[in-house]
Chains A and B, each alone.
Chain A
Amino acid sequence: MAFQKLKVALVAAATMSSVVGVGLFASSNAANASTMVNWAKVTHLTKTGPTSMTALVKAAKKEGKLNVIALPPNWANYGQLISGFHAKYGIKVNSENPNGSSAQEVTALTTDKGRSIAPDVIDVGTSYALTAKSSGLLAPYRVSTWSEIPAALKDAKGYWFDDYGGYVAIGCNSATVKCPTSFAQMLSAKSSSGYKIGLNDSPLNSNSALAGVIAAAVANHGSLSNVAPGVRYFAKLNANGTFVPIIANAATVQSGATNIVIWWDYLQASGISPSVKTWKVVVPSDAAVGEYYSQAISSSAPNPAAARLWEEYLYSVTGQNLWLKGEARPVELAYMQAHHQANAAWLAKLPAIPAGANSMFPTTAQIAAAATVVTNSWATKVGAG
């Protein structure tokens, strides 16, 4: 209890000092650069004047650094995005806890508030962006290409906006088994088929594994709002002896412990394909379930200009194409394809959406409901305890 009070006091003190700090910074900035721009409050760029792109680049270079969190270099090509940003603007990118989770990103926003190492921007599952928004941790911002982001994939005021996504895919080592192209084929296979099907993680812990269960539900007379058939699906696989509940990754594929992995298509492309040359990734013909991650800027970003410049970079043609190169589907892809801005070679590498498949994107409410159902039934139904 005492600890709680102490924490509250510390957070309060930190908030106060950051408010005072922003004030001081703004006024000293005004004295030096004869502008009154407080970048932490800028919600969009203007064509000209003190909040133009040119002014933003100048201010961001002056800050000289950007703090990002939980961006693995081989995840959706973030390694090249970060080095490209650094090369273009000379701004140092501090990458904290690259393998962190969405929960850890939101926690860092709270616990690091007021520190110079606090994250400037986050990349999280959309439900975590909503949590962070309701806790007042995010600053609204609309990138210059705002109109190119589909309306369903962004917060109207710009507190968060989706960045890239992909589809639940079946990856398979074609050197060891006959590759399935649908959930139905995996279900009918007996253990003699040699199938060793794994998820990338526990669906109680990983959003992508949860999406795998949702996709299995869609393929088995369930829906985005009814995931119980997905849980039953994996229970049947387990009974068939074809489900391997370990955390599947390139190592388990190379050792032969798993030869089929259900995971996001773009993460299979970066996580397994480079080390397993015979790895084939397909979007299942009986369920094309996709999801996007979301970008957001911290309301207490220590480098508010660099944070905004980073978003402008990510949503530029260059940034969007670098995600595409990582075999992720950037959120502005439809617009880019229509305007011939998408890199054709990288576009061709994406796993095709099977003809006739109906692409589905669960809402955050559907994901939250699915999480509850899976949490309460995964251990008892699939593992029988």
Chain B
Amino acid sequence: MNPLIFDGDMAVGGAGASASAPPTAGVVTRPSRRALRRVGFPILAMSPFVIFTFIGLGIPVLAVIDHAFRTEKGHLTTANLRVVSHGVYRLGFENSIKLSLIESILPGILGVFLAYAILTSSHGWLRPLVTTASGVLANFGGINLTFMFIASLGSTGVLTVWLKSVHLDPWNYGFNLYTFYGVAFVYMYFQIPLMVLVITPALGALRTSWREAAQNMGASNWQYWRHVGVPVLLPSILGAMLLLFGSAFAAYATAQSLTGGIIALSPIQIGNLMNGNVLSGQVNVGYAIGLGMLVVLTVTMVLYGLVRRRASKWLQ
């Protein structure tokens, strides 16, 4: 997972810092050697991270952009972008965005409630148990996950057969694992634990004294959440949902093994173009889809930054 998306402060800071406001007025008006050292040392300390990020993220991004604008022989072109903005590749973007939106909003909401329920539960042992389980399940994906669902909820799955025996076969009621919504259903299995994992610390920051103070002043439960709880939590929830969006947007093996390509999704299309046994010599079209995905993620991050700045304004 991309730590840059994870940490909202850093994402916003990148944009906000462009105003180049001095950290403290005194340092800038009269730069002394000590001040320089004070500024220089943090930069030095940061440099391994910056270099590491550039190698791991910067260079690949530049390579994706470069390849997206070249033919297979290396000439400059915009043909790749034209190809991916039409037909089945465009459909791939639409499906991927739709799936990721579902997979950020639904597990986002469910995860908040689940995490809150566990935090406020009187059973103290629940929290470490659920946190550990979430850590495992949030990383459970791919072919294993697909097979688990086929074996349990596939048309001949164990659960399906049990439900059938009590005349509640879900497949008779329009349930189908091998469709778009089937994929969305399976993704929940790792998206909800991921939400629980990232939102639990934020929920922990909600102090009981605030609630007591609100109650003392006669606030109802609804009013407390409307005016205190939700505004305080909103930036964290939005940040976590963004993470879920990214996680679903990039997920590949689960959908591929579950639906064998009958649902157009951008990451699967990239895989077909770059790594497959069928489409030879169209690698740069794959890079162009990659560029499109980068654009989508960038837009999401900027939107998030704007929303977050607004939501946290009153906190200052």
Contact = CB atoms under 8 A, between A and B. Distances in A.
B156 interface: yes
Contact of A131 (B157, B180, B281): B281
A256 B152 CA distance: 11
Contacts of B150: 246, 252, 255, 257
Given A210-B278, A255-B154, A1 B257 contact: no
A385 B93 CA distance: 11
Contacts of A256: 156
A107 B260 CA distance: 24
Contact of B180 (A128, A238, A385): A385
Contacts of A209: 260
Interface string A211-253: 0000000000000000000000000001000001111000110
Contacts of A128: 277, 280
Interface stretch (A26-34, A164-172, A194-202, A316-324): A194-202
A380 interface: yes
A379 B93 CA distance: 13
Given A256-B156, A385-B264, A246 B278 contact: no
A383 B259 contact: yes
A385 B281 contact: no
Contact of B256 (A3, A202, A376, A379): A202
Interface residues of A, number: 49
Contacts of B180: 383, 385
Contact of A3 (B63, B147, B154, B272): B63
B254 to A, nearest CB: 11
A251 B261 contact: no
A205 B276 CA distance: 5
B214 interface: no
A2 to B, nearest CB: 7
Interface residues of B, number: 42
Given A246-B260, A371-B278, A385-B264, A204 B272 contact: yes
Nearest to B179: A383
B91 A207 contact: no
Contact of B276 (A130, A131, A204, A377): A204
Interface in B144-178: 146-147, 150-151, 154-157, 178
Interface in A150-171: none
A378 B262 contact: yes
A4 B66 contact: yes
Contacts of A368: 280
Contact of A257 (B156, B262, B271): B156
Given A244-B178, A251-B147, A380 B264 contact: yes
A125 interface: yes
A204 B154 CA distance: 23
Chain A to chain B: the 8 pairs with minimum beta-carbon distance, closest first: A383-B262, A202-B261, A379-B264, A256-B156, A245-B260, A207-B277, A205-B276, A202-B260
